[in-house]
């Protein structure tokens, strides 16, 4: 009987310890590098969700984070363009006004795809050996990403509000492009600031 009691006591203590350990882990998790970088963005939760699929868990490279963020934005923009293009081909049930607004949105998102493609290429070819060249590349990327955001919000403002499922889906997809691009711009700005600070003098 005593042996059984001792066994039960040890079992209960082990369960309590395990629960306490798991609770402590949830309360004070050690943030990953991606999570730390995403805290600088306006939309940290989608930032972590998307970038975790592109960045190695062991990565400590801010430039790699920016590369991943730009690629996420480009992929989301391409998917959105594909969807809107399909809708434009099936425009028979739309009013002329709605079709025109969605067609203009397609043009804006297509331009955004081009700007994001330029940004990805620019960062891939970035020369970190000279600050003067870096500033030039930095200006290009910032200009292109800002243009993507302008295009996305112009599209959102151009589509009339309504209960139509198609318009709601388009707006949700375009808003997602705007959010991930905003995150990419914030991450790039942080990377650029750190680079210039480390190369002063």
Mean pLDDT of 85-114: 90
This prediction has a pTM of 0.80
The tens digit of pLDDT for each residue in 184-200 reads 999 999 998 888 787 76
Shared domain for 104 and 181, answered yes or no, is yes
| Domain coverage including residue 168 | 33-198
Which CATH number covers residue 158? 1.20.140.40
CA distance 48 to 37: 9
User: CB-based contacts of 183: which residues, under 8 Å, 6+ apart?
Assistant: 38, 41, 42, 43, 46, 47, 69, 73
Do 172 and 90 share a structural domain?
yes
Do residue 57 and residue 126 come from a single domain?
yes
| Cβ count near 188 (within 10 Å) | 23
- Whole-angstrom Cα distance, residue 13 to residue 138? 57
Place of tokens 């049930």: 93
Each residue's pLDDT tens digit, 107-116: 999 999 999 9
Total domains present in the chain:
2
37 shares its domain with 6: no
- Residues 13, 99 within the same domain: no
| Together in a domain, 170 and 182 | yes
The verdict on 3 and 51 lying in the same domain is no
The pLDDT value given to residue 60: 86
CB distance 41 to 70 below 8 Å: no
Answer yes or no: do 77 and 4 share one domain.
no
Are 68 and 120 contained in the same domain? yes
Q: What is the mean pLDDT of the chain?
A: 83
Query: Which pLDDT belongs to residue 124?
Result: 84
pLDDT in tens, 26-75: 443 566 888 999 998 999 999 999 898 888 877 888 889 999 999 999 99
One domain, residues 17 and 37: no
């Amino acid at each position: 009987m005593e042996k059984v009691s001792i066994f039960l006591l040890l079992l209960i203590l082990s369960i309590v310890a395990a629960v306490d350990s798991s609770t402590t882990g949830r309360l004070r998790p050690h943030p990953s590098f991606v999570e730390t970088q995403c805290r600088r963005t306006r939309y940290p939760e989608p930032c972590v969700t998307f970038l975790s699929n592109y960045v190695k868990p062991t990565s400590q490279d801010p430039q790699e984070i920016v590369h991943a963020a730009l690629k996420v934005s480009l992929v989301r923009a391409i998917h959105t363009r594909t969807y809107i293009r399909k809708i434009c081909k099936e425009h028979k049930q739309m009013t002329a006004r709605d079709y025109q607004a969605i067609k203009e949105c397609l043009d804006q998102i297509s331009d955004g795809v081009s700007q994001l493609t330029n940004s990805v290429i620019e960062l891939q070819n970035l020369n970190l050996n000279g600050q003067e060249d870096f500033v030039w590349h930095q200006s290009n990327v910032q200009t292109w990403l800002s243009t993507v955001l302008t295009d996305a919000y112009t599209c959102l403002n151009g589509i009339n509000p309504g209960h139509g499922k198609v318009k709601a889906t388009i707006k949700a997809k375009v808003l997602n492009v705007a959010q991930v691009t905003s995150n990419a711009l914030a991450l790039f700005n942080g990377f650029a600031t750190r680079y210039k600070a480390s190369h002063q003098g």
